[in-house]
Each structure stands twice: as structure tokens, then as C-alpha cells.
Amino acid sequence: MARMIVADRDYVKSKYKLEKLKELEDIVAEAVEINIPFNNYITGFCAFTHKAGIHAKAILNNPSTYEIIDPKDFGMSRYVHFASRLTGWNAIKSRAEQLGLDMTDEQVKAVTLKIKAMADVRPLAIDDADSIIRTYHHNLSATKEKPLLQLTEEEKQKFAKAEQELKKETEAKELQRKADEQADVPAAKKQKTEVVS
């Protein structure tokens, strides 16, 4: 089906009710008493989920960069996962906008660092990430800061350590970026060559 829709989307959509595919799959799975794999092609709930930073940024800017087929054609929806260590600031910025929060890019980058650090401490649910974003936004103008999440003493220590490590990584990347801007040939494009005698 995916190959057919890529070849001639309009023809396939005129011939088949693709948005019914998931519903039909659910009926069959229930009748034969099997579970549908989460990563099932097209109809699995992870089929159109995007997680990593640069990948999520590309999806937010232009979905066709990573999706050859449109999830809407199949009655599915795209999801950019933002509650993980791999999240990028563009995914968090998109989520903040969905929550109706006005934040600068620097503020979004700072809260992204906090979400990544918290994901190193414990698994985050969507509600946890939303709470971190909302609380961070609230704390920007509050006279008394609220904690991002309720943490045990051990989790607070792990969070502080993870946050420091991520800040060091971020600072190192920024220094490298600035050095690349000033260099004739950026470090990423330099190639090591062996001297053959």
C-alpha cells in the first residue's frame, strides 16, 4: 500500500478508503485475539513518531523530509516526542507554542536542557515535560520559584549533576561552533590524511 500511494497518491486515494485501514486492522486483531505491534508499518502508534533533535526539527519544518507518505491519508497523526534525553530545542519550542507559552529561543534552550537532565534522572511522561515547561515559564516572572517537578533528595542530586554535564556539553559545542565560524575550513570538514612513505 505504501508503495502504491507513493507512486500515485491521487489514484490510490480515489480507489481505497485508506483512513479506514487502522479501524479495519483493529477489528481483525480483536477477532483473532492478537496485539498489533507498536511499530507496525503505517498503522502502528509509533509509525509517525519522531524523537531525535535534528530529525524532529526537520519534521517540524518540512514533514516530507522524513515521511514519504502523509499520516493523514491513513487516518493517523504525526507526533514529535519531546519528553526524552534526545529531544531538541525545536521540539520543545513547538510544544511551548502548543501550550500557548511565549518564550525566547534562549529560554526554550534553557528549559530543553532541564528536560534532558530530568530524562537522565527518570523516565518522563508527556505530563512531566509539560509541567517542566509550564513551571519554567512561570518561574521566569515569579518572585518565588516553584520546583520543576517533585523530586526525592537523590533525584535532586542526580538532576543537578546531569544538568551540569549537559551545560558543559552545550558550552563545548558552542565553542566549537564559534571556532568553526572563524576557521578557513570548519573542523567538521577537515579530513585526516596519512603520510605514506
pLDDT confidence of residue 84: 79
Task: Kindly state the average pLDDT of the residues 178-195.
Answer: 66
Confidence of residue 190 (pLDDT cuts 50, 70, 90): low
DSSP-derived letter for residue 33 is: T
Q: Is 55 a catalytic residue?
A: yes
Query: Residue 100: phi, psi to the nearest 5?
Result: 75, 25
Q: Is the pLDDT of residue 19 over 90?
A: no
pLDDT confidence of residue 188: 58
Cell numbers at 25, concatenated: 486492522
Residue 111 in 3-state DSSP?
helix
Model confidence over 112-122: pLDDT tens digits? 999 989 988 88
CA-based nearest residue to 69, from 50, 42, 46, 44 = 42
DSSP-derived letter for residue 143 is: S
Q: Is the pLDDT of residue 197 over 70?
A: no
The answer to whether the CB of 60 falls within 8 A of the CB of 97 is: no
Q: Is the pLDDT of residue 136 over 90?
A: yes
The answer to whether the CB of 83 falls within 8 A of the CB of 119 is: yes
- Provide the β-strand partners of residue 79: 49
Confidence of residue 46 (pLDDT cuts 50, 70, 90): confident
From the list 50, 55, 81, 138, the catalytic residue is 55
